[in-house]
């Protein structure tokens, strides 16, 4: 009997096609679809509220949000471990609401690894293949290929207890990939790892995704993780997607105050809109200073707003900035040395927690508590959002 080679069965060749294992034609932009999906556990309150989301084939999409925001519930409904109260979930055009988890052909990676402790690494990977009735010769090819992908071939005969946390996570990832799924779900997979290993595994998982082109839906509450790994990020809060966009758009162009505050460090200044000119808003601050910002959402003249400015976009020498820059006065509260940057906290424009990040360069002036300074930023770096 001829043994199939990796090139004939491997993920790289199969994922380059636009047809799933079930022969269904896959749309580029609607490989996974949540259509008006709701979820309630008690019949009264909704954990997920009218979710409409299309996930592209080959995309790395991260569901990001605080605890209780609905992101993990969405992942569990897609995996089949929870059932939608209302709406439809489709995979490759097929309604999967009533399809049991083991028949969805989806790989899953959990935070706690979920490896069988009494089995070797190879046996752990063999298990999902045996469940699918795969012949032993082909199982061996698939296991070797999956372990090679995560650089763990030399550990095939070890048991999970003989592996480090990072090694166990690699095996959990290999097990999710071993049966060639077209979709892999990851639920806080790096949460149990220390900071350095977590950052290393972020790059490994992202690199693996780019090499094999598989579709990944990833759940995390770690903003840095989402920005590092994702093609797009869906920011969840209170059971709804607050914004769905690329990492750069999520960080640079937040659509509301929740996203601005949740993603990265952010300064938020409250004010009243004094004038609207196109997409520009002139905002009067509590201190009487007037600044200009890009208007986002349904803002009106005379209405309240919160202006978002990222700390790294603030300059300590506004006199060197071009005409039109917004400038305000501030008083230094404290400065924290963080190696590559200096983290300066100011009392400015009614905020006692206005943060400025300065590069730690040669000759950089050290600021002392009580120093009065003037700061500024380009108007395009400020966004007038909904009031908080």
Residues 287, 196 share a domain:
no
At 186, is the secondary structure helix, strand, or coil? strand
Residues 254-291: pLDDT tens digits? 999 999 999 999 999 999 999 999 899 999 999 999 99
Residue 17 has pLDDT above 50, yes or no: no
Residues 309-355: pLDDT tens digits? 999 999 887 777 777 889 999 999 999 988 888 899 999 998 999 99
- If one counts every other C-beta atom within 10 angstroms of the C-beta of residue 36, the result is 12
Residue 1 resides in a domain:
no
Residue 10 has pLDDT above 70, yes or no: no
CATH of the domain at 314: 2.40.50.140
Residues 352-361: pLDDT tens digits? 999 999 888 7
pLDDT value for 99? 94
> Rounded to whole angstroms, what are the CA distances from 214 to 145, 176, 206, 378?
15, 12, 11, 40
Residues 125, 221 share a domain:
yes
Q: Phi and psi for 131 in degrees, rounded to 5?
A: -60, -35
Q: How many residues does the chain have?
A: 388
pLDDT band at 382 (very low <50, low <70, confident <90, very high): very high
Tokens (6 digits) for 272? 């009243």
Residue 259 resides in a domain:
no
pLDDT value for 203? 87
pLDDT value for 363? 65
In this structure, are residues 187 and 109 in contact, taking their beta carbons and an 8 Å threshold?
Answer: yes
pLDDT value for 38? 97
| Arithmetic mean of pLDDT, 296-305 | 94
pLDDT value for 1? 33
Residues 96, 166 share a domain:
yes
Residue 258 resides in a domain:
no
Give me the helices (H) in the chain, please: 6-9, 11-15, 71-79, 121-131, 136-149, 165-177, 195-212, 223-229, 247-252, 257-262
Residues 67-90: pLDDT tens digits? 999 999 999 999 999 999 999 999
pLDDT value for 28? 66
> What is the overall mean pLDDT for the chain?
87
Cβ neighbours for 211, distance < 8 A, ≥ 6 positions apart: 12, 149
What domain range is 286 assigned to? 265-385
Residue 115 resides in a domain:
yes
Residues 171, 22 share a domain:
yes
Average the pLDDT over each of 193-207, 209-223, 256-270, 288-302 and give the range with the smallest value.
193-207
Q: Phi and psi for 118 in degrees, rounded to 5?
A: -85, -5
Residues 334, 239 share a domain:
no
Residues 294, 248 share a domain:
no
pLDDT > 70: what percent of the chain?
A: 92
CATH of the domain at 59: 3.40.50.300
Residues 143, 213 share a domain:
yes
> Rounded to whole angstroms, what are the CA distances from 101 to 40, 79, 173?
20, 6, 18
Residue 239 resides in a domain:
yes
pLDDT > 90: what percent of the chain?
A: 63
| Arithmetic mean of pLDDT, 116-141 | 92
Residues 243, 142 share a domain:
yes
Residues 319, 236 share a domain:
no
- By C-alpha distance, which of 106, 116, 98 is closest to 171? 116
Q: If you search the block for the tokens 């690329």, which residue do you land on? A: 246
Residue 257 resides in a domain:
no
* Cα–Cα dist 63/243, whole Å: 10
In this structure, are residues 355 and 267 in contact, taking their beta carbons and an 8 Å threshold?
Answer: yes
Residues 223-262: pLDDT tens digits? 999 999 999 999 999 999 999 999 999 999 999 999 999 9
At 175, is the secondary structure helix, strand, or coil? helix
Residue 16 has pLDDT above 60, yes or no: no
pLDDT value for 3? 34
Residue 198 has pLDDT above 90, yes or no: no
Residues 33-55: pLDDT tens digits? 999 999 999 988 999 999 999 99
* Cα–Cα dist 333/369, whole Å: 5
Residue 260 resides in a domain:
no
Residue 169 resides in a domain:
yes
Could you tell me the pTM of the whole model? 0.85
Cβ neighbours for 165, distance < 8 A, ≥ 6 positions apart: 192, 193, 194, 197
Bridge partners, 318 (sequence order): none
Residues 247, 284 share a domain:
no
* Cα–Cα dist 36/13, whole Å: 34
Of the candidates 252, 273, 290, which is a domain's last residue?
Answer: 252
Residues 298, 243 share a domain:
no
pLDDT value for 110? 83
Cβ neighbours for 355, distance < 8 A, ≥ 6 positions apart: 265, 267, 311, 343, 344, 345, 346
Q: Which residue has the higher pLDDT, 240 or 149?
A: 240
| Arithmetic mean of pLDDT, 120-138 | 91
Residue 6 has pLDDT above 80, yes or no: no
Residues 97, 201 share a domain:
yes
Residue 202 has pLDDT above 50, yes or no: yes
Number of domains in the chain: 2
> Rounded to whole angstroms, what are the CA distances from 148 to 141, 145, 154, 255?
11, 5, 9, 42
* Cα–Cα dist 64/228, whole Å: 12
Of the candidates 252, 282, 310, which is a domain's last residue?
Answer: 252
pLDDT band at 218 (very low <50, low <70, confident <90, very high): very high
CB burial string 88-122: b at 16+ within 10 A, e below: ebbbbeeebeeeeeeebbbbbbbbebebeeeebbb
Of the candidates 252, 275, 298, which is a domain's last residue?
Answer: 252
Would residue 350 be called left, alpha or beta, if left means φ above 0 and alpha means ψ between -120 and 50 degrees?
A: left
pLDDT value for 19? 34
User: How many CA atoms lie less than 13 Å away from 117 in the CB half-sphere?
Assistant: 2
């Amino acid at each position: 009997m001829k043994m199939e080679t990796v090139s004939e069965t491997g993920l790289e060749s199969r994922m380059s096609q636009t047809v799933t294992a079930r022969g269904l034609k896959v749309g580029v932009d609607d490989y996974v679809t949540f259509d008006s999906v709701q979820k309630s556990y008690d019949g009264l309150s909704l954990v997920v509220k009218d979710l409409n989301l299309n996930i592209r084939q080959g995309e790395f999409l991260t569901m990001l949000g605080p605890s209780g925001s609905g992101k993990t519930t969405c992942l569990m409904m897609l995996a089949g471990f929870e059932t939608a109260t209302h709406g439809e979930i489709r995979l490759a055009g097929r309604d999967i609401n009533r399809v049991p988890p083991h028949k969805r052909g989806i790989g899953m990676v959990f935070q706690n690894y979920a490896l069988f402790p009494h089995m070797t690494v190879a046996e752990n990977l063999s298990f999902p293949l045996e469940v699918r009735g795969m012949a032993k010769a082909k199982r061996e090819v698939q296991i070797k290929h999956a372990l090679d992908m995560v650089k763990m071939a030399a550990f095939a005969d070890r048991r999970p207890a003989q592996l480090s946390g990072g090694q166990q996570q690699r095996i959990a990832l290999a097990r999710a990939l071993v049966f060639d799924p077209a979709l892999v779900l990851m639920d806080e997979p790096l949460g149990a790892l220390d900071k350095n290993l977590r950052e290393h595994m972020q790059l490994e998982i992202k690199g693996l995704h780019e090499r094999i082109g598989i579709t990944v839906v990833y759940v995390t509450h770690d903003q840095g993780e989402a920005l590092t790994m994702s093609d797009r990020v869906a920011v969840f809060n209170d059971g709804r997607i607050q914004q769905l966009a690329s990492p750069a758009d999520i960080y640079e162009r937040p659509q509301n105050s929740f996203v601005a505050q949740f993603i990265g460090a952010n300064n938020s200044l409250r004010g009243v809109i004094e004038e609207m000119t196109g997409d520009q808003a002139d905002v009067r601050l509590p201190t009487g200073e007037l600044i200009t910002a890009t208007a986002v959402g349904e803002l009106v003249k005379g209405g309240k707003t919160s202006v978002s400015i990222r700390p790294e976009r603030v300059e300590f020498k506004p006199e060197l900035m071009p005409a039109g820059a917004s400038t305000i006065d501030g008083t230094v509260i404290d400065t924290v040395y963080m190696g590559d940057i200096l983290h300066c906290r100011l009392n400015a424009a009614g905020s006692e927690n206005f943060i400025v990040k300065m590069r730690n360069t040669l000759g950089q002036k050290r600021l002392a508590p009580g120093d009065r300074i003037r700061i500024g930023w380009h108007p395009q770096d400020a966004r007038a959002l909904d009031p908080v």
